[in-house]
Amino acid sequence: MKTRFKPKLHIKKGDMVAVISGNDKNLSHPRKVLEVLPEKGRVLVEGVNIRTHHAKPSAQNTKGGIVKQEAPVHISNVMLWDAKSGAPSRISHNRENGKSVRIAKKSGGEI
Q: How far apart are CA 25 and CA 88, in angstroms?
A: 12
- pLDDT single digits (tens) 8-26: 789 999 999 999 999 999 9
Q: How confident is the model at residue 90 (pLDDT cuts 50, 70, 90)?
A: very high
8 Å CB contact between 41 and 25: no
Cα distances (Å, whole numbers) of residue 78 to 46, 47, 48, 57: 12, 13, 11, 35
Q: What is the pLDDT of residue 1?
A: 62
Give the pLDDT score at 2. Answer: 62
What number does CATH give the domain 16-104? 2.30.30.30
Task: Give the predicted TM-score (pTM) of the model.
Answer: 0.86
Domain ranges of the chain: 16-104
Backbone φ and ψ of 58, nearest 5°:
-140, -175
pLDDT at 16: 97
Torsion on CA atoms 44, 50, 52, 53, rounded to nearest 10: 0
